[in-house]
Amino acid sequence: MNLLKGLVIIPCYNEEMAIGKLLTEMKLLALPPPIEVDILVVNDCSKDKTSSKAREFGARVIDLPINLGIGGAMQTGFIYAQKNNYDFAVQMDGDGQHPPSELIKLIDQFKASKSNIIIGSRFVLKQGFQSSALRRFGISYFHYLTYLFTGKSIYDITSGFRLFDKKTIQIIATKYPDDYPEPESLIILSRAGLSFKEVPVIMRERQGGKSSIRNFSQLYYMAKVTIAMFFSNIRK
């Protein structure tokens, strides 16, 4: 079997409380052959000890000189994956919401389905942490909006636990949304003719840090992403 090399990209902003435990779990993970992964922490100009903590636990680290947000941090990782010729890249949150053991489910689905993008979903089997009622409403709203634009039914549309194949990496290394990119990026990738597959995973509550989407900002998030998705859908 030919070796498949993957890059796990972990964007972090002030995650010193969670990143050590997450990286320890990654080190203990036994991946199915012929898979090997490297771990890249993209430190998005954190104000705490995220960078030194990640290095202490053996991760490769890119320190951004200014805060770019989740989109810019992830695109930095995709550029790294493209330049180093990885076969696939995985997006994983630095706050511990995505148990590394669940990564095997994404990899198995990737090997079995040959889909371009594999999305780890909380809502297929509805197990594990399900988020707040308001967030579930917003996710349901984006599910229907995405179906309207693409004809694809993706239930956990805001999931930040995703696997991208090499073809997808070539696209998102050069074009990736800046703010709250998960829903908008799926519009762009769908228009590029790429295929999607959801796989049920179990997620946890965040193990540290604070969410960037809180209180009334959730309504702002919904309005902003709706507009971004609309223009991504009509843009040439």
Tens of pLDDT, residue by residue over 118-151, are 999 988 666 656 566 777 788 889 989 999 999 9
The pTM of the full predicted model, rounded to 2 decimals, is: 0.90
203 with 128: CB under 8 angstroms?
A: yes
Helix ranges restricted to H, the chain: 19-27, 50-56, 69-83, 103-113, 133-150, 166-172, 181-191, 217-234
Instruction: Using the predicted structure, report yes or no on whether residue 86 has a pLDDT greater than 90.
Output: yes
135 with 214: CB under 8 angstroms?
A: no
Name the token pair of 230: 């609309």
Instruction: Tell me how crowded residue 148 is: count the other CB atoms within 10 A of its CB.
Output: 10
Instruction: Using the predicted structure, report yes or no on whether residue 216 has a pLDDT greater than 50.
Output: no
Helix (H, G, I), strand (E, B) or coil at 33: coil
Instruction: Tell me how crowded residue 75 is: count the other CB atoms within 10 A of its CB.
Output: 22
From the list 166, 38, 18, the residue with the least C-alpha distance to 98 is 18
From the list 149, 141, 10, the residue with the least C-alpha distance to 70 is 10
Instruction: Using the predicted structure, report yes or no on whether residue 171 has a pLDDT greater than 50.
Output: yes
Q: Vertex 99, ends 91 and 97: CA angle to 5°?
A: 75
Backbone angles phi, psi at 22, to 5 degrees: -60, -45
Q: Which residue has 């954190």 as its token pair?
A: 46
Residue type, 37: V
Q: Which residue has 């999607």 as its token pair?
A: 196
**pLDDT band, residue 84 (cuts 50/70/90):** very high
Question: Distances in Å between the alpha carbon of 138 and those of 4, 36, 89, 184?
Answer: 36, 36, 27, 14
Helix (H, G, I), strand (E, B) or coil at 206: coil
What average pLDDT does this structure show over 156-175?
A: 95
Structural fold of domain 4-234: Spore Coat Polysaccharide Biosynthesis Protein SpsA; Chain A (3.90.550)
**pLDDT band, residue 165 (cuts 50/70/90):** very high
